[in-house]
A and B are shown apart, each in its own frame.
Chain A
Amino acid sequence: MQSGDTSGLEELYDRYTSLMLGVSRRILRSDDDAEEAVQEAWIYAWKRSGRFDAQRSSVAGWLVMIARSRALDRYRSLTSRRRVEDQAPPPEPSHGDDPAHELHGDQLRQHVARALDSLDANHRRVIETAFFDGLSHSEIATRFETPLGTVKYWIRQGLKRLGDQLPQEEWR
């Protein structure tokens, strides 16, 4: 992609868009908005492919963070929508056509689920809020009416445990 090769882009698109779209749907709770955010994410990634640093992130990780960022930007700009956790349930998951990929994905998701389940409930809650709602430590402290220092501690402890539990090399 950095060389301007659109065939390379297509390969990356086919491999990672479902993951990027899943994150966007979790944030925006709308198929249409999520697709708009993912479209913006791919354009952003294409234009800034020269900035990708393989020392700091995998391609998948880099793309996921771009999609997350675009989704959060879109969410914040949608002032006409109110995102209440119980109000608009996330769309039902949809599935692709590659059974092998599906199987690998299912196994990975099970591994991730076990890792997340191993976290203290509070640690998990603040980490997911920080990641999917884009809230700062102080904003999380306000939302959950919890001291700021406690939130920071929960996040540190949760990330450390999550990092220890998750595989380092199985991501595609």
Chain B
Amino acid sequence: MNENREHAFLDLATGFILGNLDELEERRFLEHVEAGCSTCEEMLANADAVRLGLAHATPPAQPSAQLKQRVLEAVAAAGPPARALPKPARTNTAQRWAMAAVLILAVGLGWYGWTQRQRGDRLQNDLAALQQRLEETQRFSDAEIAQRDLQLELVRDPNAGCYEFAPQPDAPAGLGGKVLFNPATRRAVIALDNATLPANRDYELWRIEDGVPVSLGVLPRDAEGAVVLHVADAGNPAAFAVSEELAGGSSGGTPRTVVLVAAVGG
């Protein structure tokens, strides 16, 4: 497994040097380097020279006089350079996630207070922030209200447990979430945050029973990475897992790259 992970990052390193990584891959690779990988850092030391070397291998080209004028005019029209990235606008999807997450966390807070008191402060902060977002939401459709009612029914059931996903080594920074699961009804609600992916990738949900992964389907996409999925029949798993797959989900029936795992009852 370590050898495969090392090879994966070496491929990302060469892809980074040659400029062929997508945004997600580049982010993961740079996080890996910043976490302290001397091998990749050593490769990166030559990146600039390699890129400029390849550029200098092409014949030089004299630009037209008009090009400079066009560039200067376009820059003047663009105004001063941006200093910070703008915050993404809130969407209804994020609001729905906030609503569901508040419900989950509202009950989860009680469960954690009973089972894991040391997490109380963090979850209280989450709850306060999400409650504030919930107060800012717009009116919801009847379907969304019905979904909320089902989720409320689930979270009020004393048999339900709330389990936090543990990020795995290949998980992107910030990816996380929780699963609320009722073994009596076999119903589950999954809420993820920072679950953004490029167009050629999808997250897929799995249940792990007797050591065997069974797909529960590809997770919906959300522009802000706030994903909520309601599973009518999640079986009787020992754990839930989230994997990163090529677009459309796993073709082989087994997870490609597991990024999150939540043990049930653990």
Contact with A along B39-53 (1 / 0, CB 8 A): 000011111111111
Interface residues on B, range: 35 or more
Tell me the bound Cα distance from A159 to B51 in angstroms: 10
Known interface pairs A6-B75, A166-B49; A156-B10 also in contact (CB < 8 Å): yes
Which B64-96 residues sit within 8 Å CB-CB of chain A?
Answer: 64, 67-68, 70-72, 74-76, 78, 80-84
| A46 contacts B60, C-beta separation under 8 Å | no
B212 — which chain A residues lie within 8 A by C-beta? Answer: none
Of all chain B residues, the one with the shortest Cβ separation from A69 is B19
What residues of chain B lie closer than 8 Å to A127, measured between beta carbons?
18, 54
A38 to B66, CA, bound (A): 12
Q: A4 and B81: CB pair below 8 A?
A: yes
B199 at the interface (CB under 8 A from A): no
A10 and B43 CA atoms in complex are apart in Å by: 33
Contact check, A159 vs B50: say whether CB atoms are below 8 A apart: yes
| CB <8 Å contact, B56 and A94 | no
Is A50's beta carbon under 8 Å from chain B?
yes
Please state if A136 and B14 are interface contacts (CB–CB under 8 Å): no
B62 within 8 A of A: yes
Pick the residue among B18, B47, B49, B71 that contacts A13 (CB under 8 A): B71
- Decide if B15 is an interface residue (CB 8 Å cutoff): yes
Q: B143 at interface (Cβ–Cβ under 8 A)?
A: no
A108 touches B20 (CB 8 A): no
Interface residue ranges of B22-60 to A (CB < 8 Å): 43-60
Name the B residues within 8 Å of A18 (CB-CB). 60-63
Q: A90-B59, A152-B11 are in contact. Are A38 and B67 (CB under 8 A)?
A: yes
Given A1-B81, A42-B75, A48-B81, A94-B60 contact (CB < 8 Å): yes
Closest CB in chain A relative to B22 CB, distance in Å? 10
Inter-subunit contact B55/A22 (CB<8 Å): yes
The A-B contact count (CB < 8 A) is 175
Residues of the B chain whose Cβ atoms lie less than 8 Å from the Cβ of A94: 60-62
What 1/0 mask marks residues of chain A from 92 to 114 whose CB sits below 8 Å from any chain B CB? Answer: 11111000000001001100110
| CB-CB nearest in chain B for A19 | B55
On chain B, the residues within 8 Å of A24 by CB distance are 61
- Digit string of A116-144 for contact with B (CB within 8 Å is 1, else 0)? 10000000000110111011110000000
Which among A31, A64, A95 is the interface contact of B55 at CB below 8 angstroms? A64
For the complex, give the distance between the alpha carbons of A90 and B59 in Å. Answer: 9
CB <8 Å contact, B63 and A2: no
Given contacts A21-B63, A137-B11, are A47 and B20 in contact (CB under 8 A)? Answer: no
For this complex, 24 residue pairs linking A to B, each with C-beta atoms less than 8 Å apart, are: A1-B81, A25-B61, A38-B63, A39-B71, A46-B75, A46-B81, A48-B82, A56-B44, A61-B48, A65-B19, A68-B19, A90-B59, A93-B60, A112-B54, A112-B56, A131-B19, A137-B15, A156-B14, A159-B17, A162-B49, A163-B47, A166-B52, A168-B48, A171-B48
List 15 additional contacts besides A61-B52, A113-B57; criterion CB under 8 Å. A19-B56, A35-B67, A42-B75, A46-B78, A50-B82, A61-B48, A90-B59, A92-B59, A94-B61, A95-B60, A95-B62, A109-B57, A127-B54, A163-B49, A166-B46
